[in-house]
Amino acid sequence: MHPMSTTEIFLIAMAIIFTVPYLIWRLCRTDYFAPLVVVQIITGILLGPGILGKIFPEYYAFVFSPAVVQMLSGVAWWAVMLFVWIAGIELDLKKAWEHRVESGITAGLALSVPLLFGCVVAAGMLMFDGWIGAKARSWQFVAGVGMASAVTALPILILLMEKLEILRQPIGQRILRYASIDDVAIWGVLALILMDWHRIGQQVIFLLAFMGFAYALRKLMGAIPQRDRWYVGLIWLAVAAFGADWSGLHFMVGAFLAGVVMDADWFDQQDMDKLRHNVLLVMMPVFFLSTGLRTNWNVGGAAVFLAAGALLVASVSGKLFGIQLAGKILKWAPGEASIIGWLLQTKALIMIIFVNILLDKGLITSETFTALLLMAVASTMLTIPIVLPKLKLLSSVVFRPK
């Protein structure tokens, strides 16, 4: 019997990636508290080196050899670039501007309070070895972990609100406005954290070139048929991501910027929804497994779980406190702030992408990455079980125009 080729082992890995989480999700009926994407993330952690890799090291070395991991990483990079690009396109900042006072107050408090709470926990983590990355300055570590605690996962938020049947309701549209503003702020802070002063010239060149190309792109998109816009958009995505990575920023920053300067009404909304769904279905599971392969427990499982718990408390309490404060300022109905706060604390996906970038740049260690990943999973799993009963009690608030 001939030894298996890298291609054959790669296909075994792909079969595992799609089979295991699907069976867990379907047979255990986890959808109420853990949507399929959350199960995929958890499965990635279980299949990673810290758990199943330690129990069955021969399996791990065989299936996830360096060559296979490299192939999986390429698929994962393109998948998450597409996902971030779509998220950027779908940001509707026009509606946020129409309601700028209410949106600004709410989004500002929803971001700043958990950011502050997360920074406090990150400062505490600095007192112990094993958490800060080799290339990080203290402020970068604190700001990065703090922002990870403040992130709202806009794409997952959309999926959860669809499940709760409030996405097209007044409260759902308001929540999208708040999350959209915070999404822009998150990527802006990330760009600041990643600013490489030794390569500032390249970064200035990239930003100037990006603005010029973005202007030309907007002119071109208005002049070509809709069927051609998808191809042009994908070329633009690759070019912008390359430019950002070349300049010392991360290719994900370029992918997000590439989407932000594009208008959603250039594309058919149904086609956009199908593309997002298909990327989640066909490609993102590879990213989730690749994420799980990067987890590490070397500082000790108890320490990682303790850090994850502290970050979860900071993230959830900070988001709820900030939204409650916004509700008092804006005189919302009783119970309204609680629903909005619990939905906005949803973390998975965008936060995981965010901390992957921090890990790539050496600003956090694999142990910090693991703690943040556990926090993101727990945060997302809390959302539906807590929000659904609140919605049933406050249906008049949910469907009331604002």
Contact 377, 211 (CB under 8 A): no
Mean pLDDT, the chain, as a whole number? 86
The per-residue pLDDT for 184 is 77
Residue 249 pLDDT more than 80? no
The per-residue pLDDT for 200 is 78
Among 183, 162, 172, residue whose Cα is nearest residue 107: 183
| CA distances for 139 relative to 120, 187, 199, 300, angstroms | 12, 17, 19, 25
Residue 398 pLDDT level (bands cut at 50, 70, 90): low
Which residues on adjacent β-strands are paired with residue 364?
132
What does the pLDDT look like over 142-198, one tens digit per residue? 999 999 999 887 777 877 888 888 877 888 888 888 887 887 788 778 878 877 666
The per-residue pLDDT for 243 is 92
| CA distances for 222 relative to 211, 225, 232, 235, angstroms | 17, 8, 12, 16
- Going 356 to 377 to 345 to 169, the CA torsion angle's sign is positive
What does the pLDDT look like over 56-91, one tens digit per residue? 888 888 888 888 888 988 898 898 889 888 888 877
Q: Where do runs of H (alpha helix) occur along 33-134? A: 36-47, 52-55, 57-63, 66-90, 93-98, 100-125
The per-residue pLDDT for 23 is 92
The per-residue pLDDT for 341 is 92
The per-residue pLDDT for 142 is 94
What does the pLDDT look like over 344-375, one tens digit per residue? 998 877 788 888 889 888 899 988 998 998 89
Measured between alpha carbons, how far is 232 from 220 in angstroms, rounded to an integer?
A: 9
Residue 395 pLDDT more than 70? no
What does the pLDDT look like over 297-337, one tens digit per residue? 666 678 889 999 999 999 999 999 999 999 999 988 888 89
Amino acid identity for residue 102 in this structure: E
Rounded to 10 deg, the angle between the 336-344 and 100-125 helix axes is 50
- Going 196 to 299 to 59 to 284, the CA torsion angle's sign is negative
Residue 397 pLDDT more than 60? no
Measured between alpha carbons, how far is 3 from 262 in angstroms, rounded to an integer?
A: 48
At 228, list the tokens.
């051609």
What does the pLDDT look like over 105-148, one tens digit per residue? 998 999 999 999 999 999 999 999 889 998 888 999 999 999 99
- Integer distance in angstroms from the first to the last C-alpha of the chain? 69
